[in-house]
Amino acid sequence: MEVVLIFPRVSAHVLQHLAAGGLHEIAHLFVGANTRASLEPYIGAQAGKMPDEEFLNRLSIAGGGPGEELLVRYVHVQWGSLTLPAPGDRMGPCSLYLLRFRKVTSGPFGEAVHMPDPVPHPRDAGLDVLEELVAELLVRMESDGVGALEAFCSEHPEKQAALRERVGALEKLGLLEFKGGSAGSGESVPERIGPYLIRKELGRGGQGVVYLAEEEALSRPVALKVFTPGRLASREARVRFRREAEAASRLDHPNVCAVYGFGEDEGLLYMAMRYVEGETLGDWLAGLRSRAGPVRGKDRGSDSGSSGTTNAEISQALVLVEKIARALHAAHELGLIHRDVKPGNIMLTSEGEPVILDFGLARDETSDDTVLTQTGAIVGTPAYMSPEQVAGRDSLDRRTDVYALGVILYECLTLERPFHAPDVAALYRVILATDPVDPRRLNPRLSRDATVVIAKALDKDPVRRYPTALALAEELRRLLNFEPIQARPASILLRLRRWGQRRPMLAATTVGLFLSLSVGLVGSLVLLDRIHSAWQRAEGLRLAARSTALVDDQPDLALLLALEGAELQPGRVANEALLAALVACRQERILQGPGGSLEQVSLDRVGKRALARSVEGLVRVWDLSSGDVLSEGVEELLMGAVVATLFPDGESVALGHVDGSLSIVDLTKGLVQEVEGFAPFSHLLAHPDGTRLLAIFGDGSAQWLDRSGQRLGSLRPPGNKVLGVDISRDGSQLALALEGGAVEIRDGVTGSELALLRGGNGDAVACAFDPTGRRLVVSSVTADPESADVRWDDALRVWDPSSAELLMERQIDYEHFSTVAFAENGTVLGGDFSGALRLISADSGEELLRLTGHQDSIRSVQFLPGGIRAVTGSRDDTLRLWNLGPQPEVTIFRGHEKGVSPARFDPSGTSLVTVAEDGTCRVWDVATGRERLRLDSCAGVIAFPATFSPDGSLVAYSCQDGSVHINDAKSGRLVYTIGVHTAAIFGLQFDPGGGFLACGSLDGTGSIIDLATGEVCHVLEGHTGPLHNMRYDSAGERLVSASEDGSARLWNADTGENLAVLEGHPGKVFDARFSPRGDLILTACEDGCARLFRTEASEVQREAQWVTPIQKGPLWRAAFSPDGESFACISLKFSVVNLFSTRDATLIASMEGHESGLVDLAFSPDGRYLATASLDRTARIWEVSDGSPWLTCRGHSNIVLTVDFSKDGRHMVSASADGTARMWPVDPHAAAQRRRPRELTAAERERFGLETERP
């Protein structure tokens, strides 16, 4: 066991036993196993006569009279354990040294052996000052590297020599490990080490030097770590090094720096590793801090003034730490524990992939040779060390690395480390005894779930941490996908217990007081808890109500308030407020403008970047995907603009100023070109190819300018004022909307007039070409002079610009469109003076969609490529990104002309199949809501059940005439048409293996189709009435059928043999299903009873368990929960869902809420939720655990016929007689988090009382 003893001064009591000379060499001499023999030359003959305890005590004495500093390092073999003073027991200025050198210190601080009190001695004030300066210098060098030495010496010139001498002595002993290399060495770089050619030095530290080298045989670059002589001096240390290097070389993971090889060359141990180019995670964090500026993390794009990382940076950090965690888990599974995970040991490649370094020094847990483990050696970087590392425990496991990941996660999300202290000794005390600041105080953007994950990763008790790095990675994945996390906040009792451990005296006093006042205190706590719970419920319901009231006019704000309410009071009310806001809110992102009223918006070619100009002449450029401001470094150059445009490449901005000057600003390099001498600008547009600029001036004239601002030629002489302008996508046409109502169409090259469009007597204020250039939309404004109050009689017209033919005209009875845009799908988007955005058909003029959110008039609108998304700029100083297509969480699948039943997800959840009374079967893309395949083999007759094969490759559906059609689910190719039945098929199911298809028909027979041949291999006969379904068991070995003849039957799926008749039903059997394990069959009967039959192989227990109905009436459907522990029943006649225990058929819950009978039901894959379809035109989702309502899905205009969950349980789909299917989020809170367009501003939080103190 290796021990370090550090003395600030050596007392006379010790000096009399030590030789006066060579004190500084003791550290080098006391390394042998025979420690007592090594001491004898310095202690004298008395050493052999002293008792062991006295001998150790004399070595442990600190303080005393004047003397030299003494650093003693020795290997303790024969004498028991020796423990150093606890961090709080100050031994003079040297205590900082003691803790700093703890990497070679054995045993936990402050345990076991009592240290004698220091011998009193006179203080040397001068030496104390020097010691304090050295302590400060060491901390400075640890954070800033060896460069801090020169700066510090210049600050203290009178102590310069002493400081350099002290640092040199410490470095000579191998106890300094700072970034930036040696404090005083100037060693030359060797040409070769082993088989590696040395190219340059990459860095050095306490462990050694890292070189960029080339492996000569393979001509590949490597990072070659050469260890400092003496650090691995003993035979045991070298054996340990080789063992650990071999263990690291077994690790093959893309996010771990691979170890290529290791060896020894002329006494130098080296290790060759993959050379990773890029920056460290520490450098990345430093960049975030520098961009955040003095006010850490000031919001770049909102007025919330919050701190920490932005939403995009939060997502990026979560992704990075998740990948790091998965890489660590791969190492842990091989028995490797890193023990020094920190940002400096993680590289980020040019592609942004993290790579963990220094696994070559990890500990191999798979080794059984504990002698080779350097027990008691504390390895790690202080700020990232776990409490068990700080305490010096020998047994460290993978949870130590999990803790370090928690520190990194905290730092990435807040730009602050969780623990701070003025020196290392204090830092250890903080790590052991205090909790970090709540991350949400440093970065309010963080969700509560994120803080819970961080807290669990940083738990001081390893048992309460995530047990594996994989568990942490999965939790981070859930955060990224807005799924519920598994961690839970620490309970009040646990927090009290930990407080008591940190403050034992105060805790003991408090406990005594508590016991004396226990009855009253318990009552008060219960009352306070009730008050707090009641406040939470009331506040949550209040915010949900405010959200509902705002959903029509400000859906983005409604969504944010509903999220706040759901945090306080989750449940049905919160979920329905969230769902309503999700349906109404089509705003994907809301970006705060540069200040003032936004007047103009411009996009790059691909729709990734957007520019906005305000009336006040301020310009800002954003990345639309992340919301980051791209113009931060050049915004001073973007001021004073009356017009502005973004070049199609998105790299440069052109600005026209009031004085007639033109500026071209590169967003990265700054000002590129400035040209003067123009007339005042009114419009400025970049040509689609990016080579030219179209400049419109206040006198109505127009010119082409090259990219540098030089005039290329006149396009239009002075004339009527131009109010709106657009360039066709191919650049061949220009449209100029003029004061007076006319629109000029000009040649895009020569400027010659091609057509003049006249419509109305007012002003043409905006115009836009469609992507083909074959249609042009014009917004006109006409003032009615006969009205006492001036009112707008506005019109929207669509023209053929080549023939001047008017294609569509629509009079607008609301505020006129100040801006318009034309999409690829033939729709027109207009923004009006009220702040509303309207989507209108260019063919019919029908209004398709009205969107609200802006609080002032919309002044500019642009479609992104594809026509599904658009961006708007408003005088409310916000730029908003809108989704005009199907919404990702609440999608409506439209296209069928008649009722839809059913709608079913494919196994991957990416496709949906529907069949309808219009005779078609359709396959939809879930992500876009678009129809992907239309299958109409039913030739106009009603289509019935449809389903996907287990692998999703086939889709099967049936027609009213009894035929079955099987198609390829990707191409739509018809694979088989089978006409075995003479009446409609109600039951249709693939076997679990996907090789067969079972059908149950109203003609009273069933059939099994072999999908390899398309032939019917078995006809199932025996029923005397129509079949309502046909279902396989989980093994695919048996089938059960339900019939109106009052029976259910069990069949052998391989042979078609009727195994048993499930009798005892006094009426029609409408449903029959196997339990998940296949040991039970559940039937739903016309008499209102559900019956359970126990099956064993081919036999059925004749005595059926039966359930007395809560209400009289026929049962229509019954279904088992996924675990088989319960089942639910519904009736067409009644609105209640009953949930029963499978074990004894007792009633668990009755779910009430529907207003009419129920048609279908389905359990979610995890069994947590139950969905129901009703005649009341709604679908509902219930919590199975207590039967409480979870979500009501409203929107269908006719009865809902079926419900189904996606395989991942995130979505539920309902099919209705109104001809649509609708997809709903099962967890609206998670969906709303994914769709959150922005954060609440400080003013909004104050307005809605979100800053008031909670009881």
Is residue 390 situated within a structural domain?
Answer: yes
- Give the tokens for residue 1145: 């058929």
Q: How many helices (H) and strands (E) does the chain have?
A: 24, 73
Query: Which CATH number characterizes residue 952's domain?
Result: 2.130.10.10
Question: What is d(CA 349, CA 372) in angstroms, rounded to the nearest whole number?
Answer: 35
At 98, the pLDDT band (50, 70, 90 cuts) reads very low
- Give the tokens for residue 243: 């063992």
Catalytic site residue from 89, 265, 340, 1054? 340
> Do 259 and 269 sit in the same domain of this protein?
yes
Is residue 1025 situated within a structural domain?
Answer: yes
Please check the confidence at residue 1251 and state whether its pLDDT lies above 90: no
In three-state secondary structure terms, 1038 is strand
Please check the confidence at residue 1033 and state whether its pLDDT lies above 50: yes
What is the residue-averaged pLDDT of the chain?
79
At 333, the pLDDT band (50, 70, 90 cuts) reads confident
> Do 707 and 725 sit in the same domain of this protein?
no
- Per-residue pLDDT, 447: 85
Q: Do 415 and 409 form a contact (C-beta atoms < 8 A)?
A: no
- Pick the residue with more confidence: 515 or 561? 561
Which range has highest mean pLDDT (171-180, 223-232, 271-280, 1033-1042)? Answer: 1033-1042
Is residue 712 situated within a structural domain?
Answer: yes
> Do 851 and 906 sit in the same domain of this protein?
no
Please check the confidence at residue 332 and state whether its pLDDT lies above 60: yes
Is residue 168 situated within a structural domain?
Answer: no
What are the two backbone dihedrals, phi and then psi, of residue 681, each rounded to the nearest 5 degrees? Answer: -80, 145
- Pick the residue with more confidence: 783 or 676? 676
Q: Which residue has the tokens 């929107």?
A: 1195
- Per-residue pLDDT, 1105: 58
- Give the tokens for residue 1253: 């103190």
* pLDDT tens sequence across 637-658: 899 999 999 999 999 999 999 8
- Per-residue pLDDT, 421: 85
Is residue 1209 situated within a structural domain?
Answer: yes
> Do 908 and 976 sit in the same domain of this protein?
yes
In three-state secondary structure terms, 807 is strand
Query: Rounded mean pLDDT of 171-198?
Result: 62
Is residue 1081 situated within a structural domain?
Answer: yes
Please check the confidence at residue 549 and state whether its pLDDT lies above 50: yes
Query: Rounded mean pLDDT of 236-258?
Result: 76
At 1235, the pLDDT band (50, 70, 90 cuts) reads confident
- Per-residue pLDDT, 630: 92
CB atoms within 10 A of CB 669: 11
> Do 725 and 710 sit in the same domain of this protein?
no
Q: How far is CA 275 from the centre of its chain?
A: 30
Amino acid at 754: L
* pLDDT tens sequence across 64-73: 322 222 333 2
Instruction: Find the largest Cα–Cα distance for the chain.
Output: 123
Is residue 578 situated within a structural domain?
Answer: no
Q: Do 1025 and 1070 form a contact (C-beta atoms < 8 A)?
A: no
Instruction: Give CB contacts under 8 A, 24+ apart, made by 690-697.
Output: 690/605, 690/647, 690/648, 690/649, 693/645, 693/654, 694/725, 694/727, 694/734, 695/656, 695/662, 696/722, 696/725, 696/736
- Per-residue pLDDT, 874: 94
Question: What is d(CA 167, CA 390) in angstroms, rounded to the nearest whole number?
Answer: 25
> Do 1164 and 1039 sit in the same domain of this protein?
yes
> Do 872 and 965 sit in the same domain of this protein?
no
- Per-residue pLDDT, 155: 73
> Do 790 and 936 sit in the same domain of this protein?
no
Please check the confidence at residue 975 and state whether its pLDDT lies above 70: yes
> Do 851 and 910 sit in the same domain of this protein?
no
By CB atoms closer than 10 A (0-12, 13-18, 19+), residue 442 is buried
Question: Domain span at residue 868?
Answer: 720-884
- Per-residue pLDDT, 96: 29
Is residue 1242 situated within a structural domain?
Answer: no
Number of domains in the chain: 5
Domain boundary (718, 740, 764) is at 718
> Do 872 and 897 sit in the same domain of this protein?
no
* pLDDT tens sequence across 376-423: 344 557 889 998 888 777 678 899 999 999 999 999 999 999 998 877
Q: Do 17 and 58 form a contact (C-beta atoms < 8 A)?
A: yes
> Do 746 and 644 sit in the same domain of this protein?
no
* pLDDT tens sequence across 893-950: 999 999 998 999 999 999 999 999 888 999 999 988 889 999 987 876 777 789 999 9
Please check the confidence at residue 783 and state whether its pLDDT lies above 80: no
Is 340 noted as a catalytic residue in this protein?
yes
> Do 782 and 707 sit in the same domain of this protein?
no
**Which residue in 1018, 986, 1011, 1085 sits closest to 1045, CA to CA?**
1085
Please enumerate in sequence order all residues whose Cβ is within 8 A of that of 166, keeping only pairs 6 or more positions apart, or say none. Answer: 130, 134
Domain boundary (863, 884, 905) is at 884
Instruction: Give CB contacts under 8 A, 24+ apart, made by 496-501.
Output: 498/435, 498/460
Which range has highest mean pLDDT (500-509, 891-900, 1088-1097)? Answer: 891-900
Q: Do 1213 and 912 form a contact (C-beta atoms < 8 A)?
A: yes
- Give the tokens for residue 1085: 């009967």
Q: Which residue has the tokens 């007081």?
A: 513
Q: Do 759 and 809 form a contact (C-beta atoms < 8 A)?
A: yes
CB atoms within 10 A of CB 1248: 19
Question: What is d(CA 197, CA 215) in angstroms, rounded to the nearest whole number?
Answer: 7
At 1200, the pLDDT band (50, 70, 90 cuts) reads very high
- Give the tokens for residue 642: 């009356």
- Give the tokens for residue 935: 């299958």
